[in-house]
Amino acid sequence: IEIRAQVVDRFGSVGLYVLLTESLCRLPILETARAVLEGGADAVQLREKDKSDGELLALARDLRQLCHQHSALFLMNDRADLAKLSGADGVHLGQEDLPVGEARKLVGPGKVVGKSSHSLEEAQRVLEEGADYIAVGSVFGSRTKPLVVRSGLELISQVSLICERPLMAIGGIDSGNAHEAIHAGANGLAVCRAIVGAQNPHDQVVKINEKG
């Protein structure tokens, strides 16, 4: 119980959580990561679907080292096994990935396990599974995941009423709407394209942090 409480506390201070996908980065991925960390991102997630396991592991280790140099958390998307091998701080799961409890067995104690939800019912199940944080969206719609239905700010408000763990708003968030997600009840913001696809990711992080 004490270890679990420490895990939640580690993620509790995350305000801006940047999702890295190489194909969406305007700059090289490690250069992008360095820029967002220098800009003030609290956590970085590696979200790659098309790389080989060997490539993914090598990249994850580089990113973990970079994140830790900037006192930021590093998480893997989907892959609890590679999170463990790379020394990541945790793993983020989708609805079709492993249950939280099974992923926790792979990553080990003292690691963060978060999960996405796209409805109030999914959010309730994620909380029952014991996720350390929950990502809710797609709040404003997402070009990264166009098949995920836009949930709007109302879902953030609804989930915030039943969630005592960190709640990350995700989906179409940028410097123009970040404050709306926080006002609706999100504790932090998970952002991809608006930051990594920018010519100057550092400045976008600064702008979103100011607005959020």
pLDDT > 90 in the chain, percent = 85
Confidence of residue 49 (pLDDT cuts 50, 70, 90): confident
**Please, what's the b/e burial string for 127-157 (b: 16 or more CB within 10 A of its CB; e: otherwise)?**
bebebbbbbbbbbbebebbeeeeebebebbe
pLDDT tier at 109 (50, 70, 90 boundaries)?
confident
- pLDDT at position 113 is 96
Average pLDDT over residues 19-46: 97
Three-class secondary structure of residue 22 per DSSP: helix
Average pLDDT of 128-132? Answer: 95
pLDDT of residue 156: 96
pLDDT of residue 141: 74
Supply the Cα-derived Rg of the chain in whole angstroms: 16
Whole-number Å distance between alpha carbons of 38 and 176: 21
